Amino acid sequence: MTTYAVRDPRGGADPEPYPTATDEEIQAAIAAAHKAHREWSRKTTVEERAALVRRVGDLHLERRDELAEITVREMGKPWEEATGEVEFSAAIYHYYADNAPTFLADEPIELLDGTGSAMIRRASLGVLIGIMPWNFPTYQVARFAGPNLAVGNTILLKHAPQCPATAAALQQLYLDAGFPEGAYVNVYATNEQVADVIADPRVQGVSLTGSERAGAAVAEIAGRNLKKVVLELGGSDPFIVLGSNDMDATVEAAIAARCGNTGQACNAGKRIIVLDSLYDEFVEKFNAKMTSEELVSTPLSSEAAAKRLTEQVEQAVSGGAVLRSAGDPHDAFVPSGVLEGVTKDNPVFHQELFGPVAMVFKVGSEEEAIELANDTPYGLGSYVFTPDPEQAQRVADQLDVGMVFINGVDADGVELPFGGVKRSGFGRELGRYGIEEFVNKKMIRTIA
């Protein structure tokens, strides 16, 4: 049974439960979203919807501290990162408010026979359900709901069970921004209810950010019911060091890539791959930073998450890896650490470590680095560090991923498409491509 409750991973407070939706409430939510699409979306212009999306962004900034405080309480995110997340969410709404009229404009088609005219007109599909995770509770909603509301789709939003307060705050924010009832509806749904929502003929698509297991389950239901689906799943992104003019800066970048959001990010740099000629210097500095007691002092999202990561680390060590750590785990806290000597037969070699523990590998060549980077079931993001621009582009072309960042981290932008390949999912969010996923590209041909 799905239970919605705020359980502060820092401890000291009893859980705050929220009531799970009844089947009748789920049906009412679908009906409201369907009605809003028919009676509101189809009667508004892109510009009118964009103005409401802009107001949502404004309210994120006005309520930044309130939203950030909820995030800290729900999943333990450091305060500075929580406020930054809200500000980035606001930027997403503002981006789509600014660009939706251009992105959704009619697109003429040049006819080969020259007779009459033809065009693509982008229209909404209808009701969508978004299934969102706990690790970025405002940002994940923004990149799904912002562009789709600008299109004219209406939203049912099922948030993570540990983020019910964020879910409620965002529902109220959309109403306060001026969206009508049914345009954005929060649902405290169970997994079984979500399956029924996806199957409902009034619902036209589903977007999920979460685990492989959840993605596979949702894709199966969506496939059976012929629904469009976007999946953003896990990742075990390589951080490849092939050269450096400033090793201290490269190490700092690797720390940031691994430990942002306490290591709980799908696109974190989880596997550090270093050329043998640079390995000793890099690892000495990287280990010193990663085993510093001051590096990560915030908890993981829950005691269950900490237990899961601790078990993976123990498996790795049992399989022959060497752990260097800042201390011992306790409650929801897992100290930052480094695993060296993880061989291909180690149980964790192909796993995703969701927390501040990095795997470090030594390679003898650029070709070996690429082979190791691609030896994973995932294909979300990657990082390539080298002062040789030709090498950087050459390596980027050979990585089986959806995103490559060269000589930098924390370089995400609202205009940059986000998504992966292989078991990291399919589809894109953000940028121009993010608004194209749930759109009816209707061809209109006029003969005379």
| Per-residue pLDDT, 298 | 85
| Per-residue pLDDT, 275 | 98
* Whether residue 416 has pLDDT greater than 80: yes
Three-class SS of residue 362?
Answer: strand
Query: What's the chain's average pLDDT?
Result: 96
Tell me the pLDDT tens digit for each residue of 96-108.
999 999 999 999 9
Question: Would you say how long the chain is, in residues?
Answer: 448
| Per-residue pLDDT, 353 | 97
Tell me the pLDDT tens digit for each residue of 392-408.
999 999 999 999 999 99
pLDDT band at 14 (very low <50, low <70, confident <90, very high): confident
Query: Taking residues 361-367, what's their average pLDDT?
Result: 98
pLDDT band at 11 (very low <50, low <70, confident <90, very high): confident
pLDDT band at 114 (very low <50, low <70, confident <90, very high): confident
pLDDT band at 329 (very low <50, low <70, confident <90, very high): very high
List 74, 85, 266, 366, catalytic entry: 266
* Whether residue 128 has pLDDT greater than 90: yes
| Per-residue pLDDT, 296 | 67
Q: Domain locations in the chain?
A: 4-233+424-446, 237-413
Sort 238 into a burial class: Cβ within 10 Å, 0-12 / 13-18 / 19+. buried
CA distances for 341 relative to 235, 237, 359, 362, angstroms: 21, 18, 8, 9
Tell me the pLDDT tens digit for each residue of 269-298.
999 999 999 999 999 999 999 998 777 678
| Per-residue pLDDT, 36 | 98
Which of 3.30.1370.10, 3.40.630.30, 3.40.605.10, 3.30.310.50 would CATH assign to domain 4-233+424-446? Answer: 3.40.605.10
| Per-residue pLDDT, 295 | 78
pLDDT band at 5 (very low <50, low <70, confident <90, very high): very high
CA distances for 350 relative to 233, 347, 422, angstroms: 15, 7, 13
Q: Is there a catalytic annotation at residue 47?
A: no
List 74, 85, 232, 366, catalytic entry: 232
Q: Is there a catalytic annotation at residue 163?
A: no
Which two structure tokens, joined as six digits, stand for 290?
Answer: 């990663």
Q: Which CATH architecture has domain 237-413?
A: 3-Layer(aba) Sandwich (3.40)
Helices 79-103, 46-62: axis angle to 10 degrees equals 170
Cα–Cα distance measured from residue 101 to residue 117, given in angstroms and rounded to the nearest whole number? 22
Query: Taking residues 58-74, what's their average pLDDT?
Result: 97
Tell me the pLDDT tens digit for each residue of 161-216.
999 999 999 999 999 999 999 999 999 999 999 999 999 999 999 999 999 999 99
Cα–Cα distance measured from residue 328 to residue 96, given in angstroms and rounded to the nearest whole number? 45
Name the phi and psi angles at 237, rounded to 5: -65, 135
Query: Taking residues 341-348, what's their average pLDDT?
Result: 97
* Residue 116, C-beta contacts closer than 8 angstroms, at least 6 positions apart: 445, 446, 447, 448
Percent of the chain's residues with pLDDT above 90: 95
Cα–Cα distance measured from residue 305 to residue 333, given in angstroms and rounded to the nearest whole number? 9
| Per-residue pLDDT, 371 | 98
| Per-residue pLDDT, 358 | 97
Question: Of the candidates 410, 382, 357, which has an alpha carbon nearest to the alpha carbon of residue 80?
Answer: 410
